[in-house]
Structure 1
Amino acid sequence: MAEVSLGRYLFERLYQLQVQTIFGVPGDFNLSLLDKIYEVEDAHGKNSFRWAGNANELNASYAADGYSRVKRLGCLVTTFGVGELSALNGIAGSYAEHVGLLHVVGVPSISSQAKQLLLHHTLGNGDFTVFHRMSNNISQTTAFISDINSAPAEIDRCIREAYVKQRPVYIGLPANLVDLNVPASLLESPINLSLEKNDPEAQDEVIDSVLDLIKKSSNPIILVDACASRHDCKAEVTQLIEQTQFPVFVTPMGKGTVDEGGVDGELLEDDPHLIAKVAARLSAGKNAASRFGGVYVGTLSKPEVKDAVESADLILSVGALLSDFNTGSFSYSYRTKNIVEFHSDYTKIRQATFPGVQMKEALQELNKKVSSAASHYEVKPVPKIKLANTPATREVKLTQEWLWTRVSSWFREGDIIITETGTSSFGIVQSRFPNNTIGISQVLWGSIGFSVGATLGAAMAAQELDPNKRTILFVGDGSLQLTVQEISTMIRWGTTPYLFVLNNDGYTIERLIHGVNASYNDIQPWQNLEILPTFSAKNYDAVRISNIGEAEDILKDKEFGKNSKIRLIEVMLPRLDAPSNLAKQAAITAATNAEA
């Protein structure tokens, strides 16, 4: 094959990076491009790509985001104007939270643009670049392709930027170019995905300074946030923990970035010896999970976690995204100025900033020397696992405080756990993840309804990686109503997520912030157990639980633990019931919103 179409070239490049699903909605300016999805073949000559076919473009952007958080790169295709604008809220969230996406927009032909035709989906003023300009500020880079000769290089550049920088990129692809051919030999050279090397002198100064701080420290900790995961530094962080044995804590956005040593689906209540077994496993050797101390959220932290972090005399911060909900409304109260911040594009030591010293390479170099610098450190205990106490009476009503700790012992290694902005994203902080768990929660951007679309993307990624990998969603009854259509797409592709719908009669997080009894925080009640059959599910379970006994019945059921079918579990909760840290955060947010 001497030549391939430009459209196929694009999808072949994505397939080379293990992208196997494309999200989006068809439109007349992208239809010829979508034909090329079915031309990509695997090593056995079979079509290896699938077009998800989302319910709308906003959901598609959420799905591509969730897919990327599992596989490091996602792609959505929309049509010009009406389609691309519908996706922009999700794209902005990916930009804010460092998620690598390729947003491909089918645009009118070059001749139509040159003639400034009054086409549908335009503003009627002959300006075909206005929507491209709208995407500029929420994209790492953009390309509005007009020349077939430079098009492959532009596509490669954009894919590299999305993958390496972990931010969305925008490609405008005219409808008449996708069928034109380019040399197939271009596909033989892989896209260069390596990071630019750090400046050696600057990096040496960083490493020497950090080692010196470690040598002088008697009470150091490691604090890990979301960008450590987004920028592929989980292995480096794990090595740093294991070599130093410093206590490690995560932020809400960083949950799932380091191993927490959870119990991997074992039911602690059924085996009095299991607690000792888990403790022995965590203390054996120098594994990272044995040093996990919990989630730090400033004043909203558990007291023992707050004290451990804030009393440290050295803090090694990796991948921080210090938003309000990620920090307990900026309530970090460190007692030391010895803070080292490792970021994707710079490092900061106390007040000195080192631009361009990227954390991945810097951590790799630090790990080569850190053992001797930390050899004096006397290992200190970390906060212990706390388990849910199951009341003797099965009829006791469910509460969030009980639920979030109890599901810790139902989770198992390899799970993908997704929580919605609201009670679940705060509640999940109280749970303990097993090792190798992926946590997805849009804490910074906080777009209500994100989690349902993200669950579709994550579940499709899980299908491609390991059929036994479970995808678990916790979403409120109000948030569900924004993006519920994407459950239909989950069913279409045979995905098998667990959909826990927390029914507390409306927008509880908003009620706690303002308007406890205001009608604008109410929603129309749905028959949630009818959602799966309404979308023509055949292999499914739908169950409602409202007390401890009903919850225990399903969590102890071995068949329920197998991801063999799509399941919707409606969890009935009191109207204003919320995790304790959410109630505190809501009060702070309400006060902040009321400030002059």
Structure 2
Amino acid sequence: MTETTIVQYLFKRLHQLGIRSVHGVPGDYNLVALDNLQEAGLEWVGNCNELNAGYAADGYARIKGISALITTFGVGELSALAAVAGSYSERVPVVHIVGVPSTISQKQGALLHHTLGNGDFSVFANMSRSISQVVVHLTDPTIAAREIDRVLRACYVSTHPVYIALPTDMALQKIPSKGLETPINLSMPPNDPSIEADVLDSITEIIYSANNAAILVDACAIRHRVIDEVHDLINKSQLPAFATPMSKGAIDETNIRFGGIYIGDVSRPDVKKAVESADLIISIGALKSDFNSGGFTYHTNTKHTIEFQVDHIKIGYATYPGIGMKSVLQKLLGSLDFHRIRHTESAKSKPPRLVNQEAENSGGQEITHSWFWPHVGNWLQEKDVIITETGTANFGILETRFPKDVTAISQVLWGSIGYSVGACQGAALALKETDRSRRVILFTGDGAFQMTGNEVSTMIRHGLKPIIVVINNDGYTIERMIHGEGAVYNDIQPWKHTKILEMFGAKEGEYMSYAVKTRKEVDELFQKGNEFSKAERIQLVELFMPRLDAPRALKITGKMSEKLNAKMEDTKYA
């Protein structure tokens, strides 16, 4: 019987899933495993720290569909946990592989480095249990292949991180390689046919009886891979369609049926009116977090909502557990008589404007959020990948109208400041492997950039060519909008951002840096077809904005968050 090793089986399975690069940081408990990457066709990234590596793995997975992260026991894995928790929160499939001490050392309770000194080798894996779909310890060669296949399937199907502990003395243990001949089954569990048929009948009847239905697409439609079905439904039904902050970019914004971004009371007035006047909401993949729902201010009627989720369907107040949306949507597309769907304009918004005319006519050369974000839409190209940081960029991009096939990456639910720089590295690397023609553009704040900006050196190391726009507004503006406008804790030490690329070792002629302080300078930089816009090298733009200026949506949400936080404190001490 042909044999392989446990680590080679694991790495070859990752390769079969489409992974080509593995993020992480070396440590003595994972070094033997790392020796085996290239033989399996995988490349080592080598990040600046484990937190950055976790963010990068998240960004890579959002492009490739799944990613892998390798850390070492204790000190390494704990450094990555904030990032892995973010991937769990945001439903991103990341395989977290941890090199751990040998099974012998663990049985003996040896007093090893990177431990708590108490002989307990399970404590760190237990910390990961609540942020992992499955936790697996590869300690038994007789079932190792089966366990690897089980955990990788769980990662892909659930779109959540998983945790694999690989002891040093297990990595090179021999196991049969026959399992590698059969691909891992990545299909969703089948729906019960009779219940699914009843659900389809009910949904069909409700859609036919509606006068002005609207489609509302959210994050889980992206995560659970039903965007193709969503586009078919929009195009065939010709119903107006709206996105949420977490699903920005999921809908083709050049489609005449696209109505804008719905965020409850934070929405533009025309969008709010259009969605809330609909007599039926077809909700696909809803994830109603505070920032994603305008501080829980949706004004839609549950009775008149059909909600599609990965593991259940809700029709009004009735829930059908175990009925997944992908199969239902596919069957619905094949059975609906689209001529019977009523079309009115009352539930349609005007398309988002490419230019904020009021800001455009306000005069002056100061770069404000109300002027900048609509302006960016004129410069973006089809198939761009846009990464926005938690803060002004996440809220500002909602005012930007995307060209066709633009991918947006953000972290609206987990909201970890600093996420975007690592995510940019991972996304850019994934595109280097798949489609080098697509531009990668990062919008981050000066405060967030200080947390993870060293990951730019990894971008340089791997020849990645993103456009990095650092918004210099003198500190944590998102926090200022919530509380403490002038508080010292929202201040930061100013950096010389235009020196960053040179400082991290970018070679002369392979990078460019710019400082932009006026609207005229933005227009000159953002000319289509110029050297900057071609994105043929890594580039960093320091974009200066007023300290207390913020996007419209952030100003409203910030006040809502402050009130919500105060309300919760009042309740706590009542």
After TM superposition, the score normalised by the length of structure 1 is: 0.92
Q: What is residue 266 of structure 1 aligned with on the other side?
A: none
Q: What is residue 320 of structure 2 aligned with on the other side?
A: 354
Q: What is residue 553 of structure 2 aligned with on the other side?
A: 581
Q: What is residue 555 of structure 1 aligned with on the other side?
A: 526
Alignment of 1:58-97 (within 5 A): 58-97=51-90
Looking at structure 1, the residues matched to 92 and 340 of structure 2 have their Cα atoms a distance apart, in angstroms, of: 34
1:169 equivalenced with 2:162 (yes/no): yes
Using the TM superposition, give the Cα deviation of residue 178 of structure 1 relative to its aligned residue in structure 2, in angstroms.
0.8
Looking at structure 2, the residues matched to 250 and 537 of structure 1 have their Cα atoms a distance apart, in angstroms, of: 39
1:338 equivalenced with 2:304 (yes/no): yes
Using the TM superposition, give the Cα deviation of residue 312 of structure 1 relative to its aligned residue in structure 2, in angstroms.
0.4
Looking at structure 2, the residues matched to 86 and 320 of structure 1 have their Cα atoms a distance apart, in angstroms, of: 31
Q: What is residue 569 of structure 1 aligned with on the other side?
A: 541
Looking at structure 2, the residues matched to 332 and 392 of structure 1 have their Cα atoms a distance apart, in angstroms, of: 33
Deviations 1:243-293 (A, max 9, x none): 1110000000011111111xxxxxxxxxxxxxxxxxxxxxxxxxxx22110
Paired AA for residue 33 in structure 2: L
1:403 equivalenced with 2:396 (yes/no): no
Q: Is 1:215–1:373's contact at 8 Å kept on the other side of the alignment?
A: no
Paired AA for residue 500 in structure 1: V
Identity %: 50
Q: What is residue 283 of structure 1 aligned with on the other side?
A: none
Using the TM superposition, give the Cα deviation of residue 384 of structure 1 relative to its aligned residue in structure 2, in angstroms.
2.4
Paired AA for residue 384 in structure 2: D
Distance 1:111 1:444, change over 3 A: same
- SS of corresponding position for 2:198: helix
Using the TM superposition, give the Cα deviation of residue 583 of structure 1 relative to its aligned residue in structure 2, in angstroms.
0.5
Alignment of 1:23-62 (within 5 A): 23-41=23-41, 49-62=42-55
**Worse-matched range after superposition: 379-388 or 73-82:** 379-388
Deviations 1:89-139 (A, max 9, x none): 111111111100100000101111111100001111111111111111111
Paired AA for residue 590 in structure 1: E
Q: Is 1:243–1:370's contact at 8 Å kept on the other side of the alignment?
A: no
Paired AA for residue 297 in structure 2: S
1:384 equivalenced with 2:351 (yes/no): yes
Match 1:154 to one of 141, 147, 157? 147
Pairwise CA RMSD: 1.5
Q: How many residues align?
A: 562
Using the TM superposition, give the Cα deviation of residue 382 of structure 1 relative to its aligned residue in structure 2, in angstroms.
3.7
Q: What is residue 2 of structure 1 aligned with on the other side?
A: 2
Q: Is 1:420–1:475's contact at 8 Å kept on the other side of the alignment?
A: yes
Alignment of 1:95-174 (within 5 A): 95-174=88-167
Match 2:441 to one of 472, 477, 490? 472
Looking at structure 1, the residues matched to 157 and 311 of structure 2 have their Cα atoms a distance apart, in angstroms, of: 11
**Worse-matched range after superposition: 553-562 or 235-244:** 553-562
Q: Is 2:236–2:338's contact at 8 Å kept on the other side of the alignment?
A: no
Looking at structure 1, the residues matched to 525 and 398 of structure 2 have their Cα atoms a distance apart, in angstroms, of: 22
Paired AA for residue 430 in structure 1: E
Using the TM superposition, give the Cα deviation of residue 424 of structure 1 relative to its aligned residue in structure 2, in angstroms.
0.5
Gaps of 5+ in 2: none
Distance 1:374 1:480, change over 3 A: farther
Using the TM superposition, give the Cα deviation of residue 79 of structure 1 relative to its aligned residue in structure 2, in angstroms.
0.4
Q: What is residue 14 of structure 1 aligned with on the other side?
A: 14
Deviations 1:489-523 (A, max 9, x none): 00000000111100000001111111111100000
Q: Is 2:379–2:528's contact at 8 Å kept on the other side of the alignment?
A: no
Q: Is 2:262–2:275's contact at 8 Å kept on the other side of the alignment?
A: yes
Using the TM superposition, give the Cα deviation of residue 593 of structure 1 relative to its aligned residue in structure 2, in angstroms.
1.3
Looking at structure 2, the residues matched to 557 and 291 of structure 1 have their Cα atoms a distance apart, in angstroms, of: 27
Q: What is residue 282 of structure 1 aligned with on the other side?
A: none
Using the TM superposition, give the Cα deviation of residue 386 of structure 1 relative to its aligned residue in structure 2, in angstroms.
1.3
- SS of corresponding position for 1:360: helix
Distance 1:564 1:319, change over 3 A: same
Q: What is residue 271 of structure 1 aligned with on the other side?
A: none
Paired AA for residue 556 in structure 1: Q
- SS of corresponding position for 2:291: coil
Looking at structure 1, the residues matched to 304 and 232 of structure 2 have their Cα atoms a distance apart, in angstroms, of: 21
Looking at structure 1, the residues matched to 482 and 344 of structure 2 have their Cα atoms a distance apart, in angstroms, of: 44
1:542 equivalenced with 2:521 (yes/no): no
**Worse-matched range after superposition: 584-593 or 178-187:** 178-187
Using the TM superposition, give the Cα deviation of residue 193 of structure 1 relative to its aligned residue in structure 2, in angstroms.
0.6
Looking at structure 2, the residues matched to 301 and 379 of structure 1 have their Cα atoms a distance apart, in angstroms, of: 19
- SS of corresponding position for 1:304: helix
Match 1:442 to one of 411, 434, 443? 411
Looking at structure 2, the residues matched to 141 and 209 of structure 1 have their Cα atoms a distance apart, in angstroms, of: 35
Looking at structure 1, the residues matched to 302 and 451 of structure 2 have their Cα atoms a distance apart, in angstroms, of: 44
Q: What is residue 415 of structure 1 aligned with on the other side?
A: 384
Q: Is 2:212–2:342's contact at 8 Å kept on the other side of the alignment?
A: no
Q: Is 2:302–2:317's contact at 8 Å kept on the other side of the alignment?
A: no
Alignment of 1:276-291 (within 5 A): 289-291=255-257
Paired AA for residue 305 in structure 2: I
- SS of corresponding position for 1:482: helix
- SS of corresponding position for 2:84: helix
Looking at structure 2, the residues matched to 370 and 553 of structure 1 have their Cα atoms a distance apart, in angstroms, of: 50
Q: Is 1:478–1:523's contact at 8 Å kept on the other side of the alignment?
A: yes
1:303 equivalenced with 2:274 (yes/no): no
Q: What is residue 433 of structure 1 aligned with on the other side?
A: 402
Paired AA for residue 131 in structure 1: F
**Worse-matched range after superposition: 367-376 or 529-538:** 367-376
Match 2:223 to one of 205, 230, 236? 230
Q: Is 1:256–1:437's contact at 8 Å kept on the other side of the alignment?
A: yes
- SS of corresponding position for 2:37: helix
Q: What is residue 201 of structure 2 aligned with on the other side?
A: 208
Looking at structure 2, the residues matched to 25 and 405 of structure 1 have their Cα atoms a distance apart, in angstroms, of: 39
Deviations 1:190-237 (A, max 9, x none): 111111111112211211111111111001000000110111100010
- SS of corresponding position for 1:484: helix
Paired AA for residue 20 in structure 1: R
Paired AA for residue 50 in structure 1: E
Distance 1:74 1:336, change over 3 A: closer
Paired AA for residue 174 in structure 1: P
Looking at structure 2, the residues matched to 516 and 439 of structure 1 have their Cα atoms a distance apart, in angstroms, of: 29
Looking at structure 1, the residues matched to 172 and 494 of structure 2 have their Cα atoms a distance apart, in angstroms, of: 49
Distance 1:127 1:541, change over 3 A: same
Looking at structure 1, the residues matched to 363 and 454 of structure 2 have their Cα atoms a distance apart, in angstroms, of: 35
Looking at structure 1, the residues matched to 252 and 446 of structure 2 have their Cα atoms a distance apart, in angstroms, of: 30
Gaps of 5+ in 1: 42-48, 262-288
Using the TM superposition, give the Cα deviation of residue 393 of structure 1 relative to its aligned residue in structure 2, in angstroms.
10
Looking at structure 2, the residues matched to 395 and 20 of structure 1 have their Cα atoms a distance apart, in angstroms, of: 49
